[in-house]
Amino acid sequence: MNVATKTGPGKGRWRQFGGVAALAVALAGAWQVSRASETVYNIAPPKVDEQTSGKALEKAVIAGGCFWGVQAVFQHVNGVKNAVSGYAGGDEKTAQYRTISSGQTGHAEAVEISYDPSVVTYGQLLQIFFSVAHDPTQLNRQGPDTGTQYRSTIFPANAEQAKVATAYIEQLNQSGVYPKKIATTTEPLKGFYKAEDYHQDYLVNNPYQPYIVINDKPKVENLAKTFPQAFRKDPVLVAAQGR
């Protein structure tokens, strides 16, 4: 049994472990599980970035596997005012977890980041995204999660974001840092649809769930180590903003 794999149509439904002892065994075996979420790519910042002069709060929508971990990472980034788990890439009528889990809706599990560009730029958010938030070389999967709903995708909100994202992907592919070509795509942002409430602030609310311990906590730890100037200890929470 792969302890890092979610089961059933409702994410977070785990095969039952036999108490604390079994959980300890499961966590001890974490080293044998795919560790894609723990990969750190030390990459240069983008050569092309957004113009921030005079800009108010901006939004960025990205997808990089299970949104629990991606949301958790950006909740710890200075300048981020909110990070909401949701769905992007499909129609509003299919933007429910049980529906998108089929992999047939066109949706990806995504995170909408509201940020202050005078503190953190769009390009800097993408640097974190490509470095510690996920493995951009994996096609239609992240670690134990497979399917197009777990694809690596950037959903630019405007032409400037599209220019930054496209240029950065090209820059990173030419850098030689990654073992394979980047699988990340860019797609037009048709809309962003907030996920069910139980998906919000998931790492904070479920810090000891095995999936979180194995796959997502390492991402936040890597953020703190790799981008110490950008790291904020206390995460900004969706629940605190009444959204």
Which residues are catalytic, by number? 66
What is the C-alpha separation between 25 and 197, in angstroms, rounded?
A: 31
Cα 225 vs. chain centroid, distance in angstroms?
A: 18
Q: Rounded to an integer, what distance in angstroms lies between the CA atom of residue 110 and that of residue 113?
A: 10
State the Cα–Cα distance between residues 72 and 219, nearest whole angstrom: 8
* Helix/strand/coil for 41: coil
Helix 67-75 and helix 217-226, axial crossing angle in degrees, nearest 10? 30
Quote the CA–CA distance of 172 and 142 in Å, as a whole number.
19
Structural element, H or E, at residue 59? strand 58-64
| Residues in Cβ contact with 30 at an 8 Å cutoff, skipping those fewer than 6 apart | 3, 4, 213, 214
Q: Which tokens in the block code for residue 4?
A: 């890092």
- Given a contact cutoff of 8 angstroms between Cβ atoms, the answer to whether 215 and 143 are in contact is yes
User: In this structure, are residues 232 and 78 in contact, taking their beta carbons and an 8 Å threshold?
Assistant: yes
CB 118 within 8 A of CB 136: no
